[in-house]
Amino acid sequence: MLVDLEQLIRVIPVPEGEAAPELPPWLLLKVASVIQPALLTTAAAAVGVWLAGKVGLRAPAAEAFAERRAIWPALRPQIVPGVVAGILSGIAIVALWLIAKPFLPEVFLARAVEFNNLLPAATRFLYGGLTEEILLRWGVMTLLVFVLWKVFRGEPRGANFVASIFISALLFGMGHLPIAFVLGGGLTMPMVIYVVAANSLFGIVAGFLYWRIGLEAAMIAHIFVHVVLLAAMNRV
């Protein structure tokens, strides 16, 4: 709701010879933009609540809140790993950007910077840090672990978790390709490699945090990735 959607949509290039699309009224545009992520987040939350405990995955602070226990003892062990992993992941993503930049189309570089400048910090922290972790880790990764457990039987094994981490991370990376396609007016091989690699890199880190420590550690790390990216924005 904090994003200036009209301005954001106007960043997206219109094919030559076509008129810019007519935008619906402001309130309708805002409401429409919330419906899809709200439904997906609700579904992912339900999947995690249903299946996470069955395969040994946890959201310790959320569980403490639901059970009316003290939240801080459950959250405290997750803070330092989350902060450190987030800062290091953010630095790695910036490094990948610097390495890939000479190989990326100029039009994509310019529009990507403009697009990123239109995303408020609160949106990055709340949607990226919380919503995407509920979708990709609590929902998708948990479901993958459960499916692999049922397919291969026995107790959930480390291989099931590792496979689920990499698959969910790859899906997370590939999920950023459509906006890259739109911003660049198409995709080049360097664009695909950069977009998938940069986003999958953090997806792997977040997956291991969720598996070994808890969902909130992955959320904290995701927030601190955006802290680093905001600090580096327009400077690299």
If you write DSSP's letter for every residue of 40-99 in order, what string do you get? HHHHHHHHHHHHHHHHT---HHHHHHHTT--SHHHHHHHHHHHHHHHHHHHHHHHHHHHH
Q: How confident is the model at residue 7 (pLDDT cuts 50, 70, 90)?
A: low
Instruction: Count other Cβ atoms within 10 Å, centred on residue 224.
Output: 21
Which of 50-64, 104-118, 203-217 is the least confident region?
Answer: 104-118
Residue 108's alpha-carbon distances to 27, 49, 95, in angstroms, are 30, 39, 18
pLDDT, tens only, 103-144: 999 988 888 888 888 788 888 999 889 999 999 999 999 999
Distance of CA 60 to the CA centre of its chain: 20
Contact 199, 153 (CB under 8 A): no
Residue entry with tokens 């480390």:
158
Question: What pLDDT score was predicted for residue 101?
Answer: 93
Residue 229: band (very low, low, confident or very high) from pLDDT cuts 50, 70, 90: very high
Residue with more model confidence, 115 or 55: 55
CB 120 within 8 A of CB 8: no
Is the pLDDT at 43 greater than 90? The verdict is yes
Residue 53 is predicted with a pLDDT of 94
Q: Any idea which residue has 């945090």 for tokens?
A: 209
Q: What span, in angstroms and rounded, lies between the C-alpha atoms of 45 and 135?
A: 7
**3 touches 120 (CB < 8 A):** yes
Cα(83)–Cα(221) distance, rounded to whole angstroms?
A: 5
Distance (Å, whole) CA 204 – CA 202: 5
Indicate if the pLDDT at residue 6 is higher than 70: no
221 or 35: which carries more pLDDT confidence?
221
Least confident residue range of 13-27, 37-51, 207-221 = 13-27
Token pair listed for 200: 């999958």
pLDDT of residue 178: 87
- Nearest-Å Rg of the Cα atoms of the chain is 19
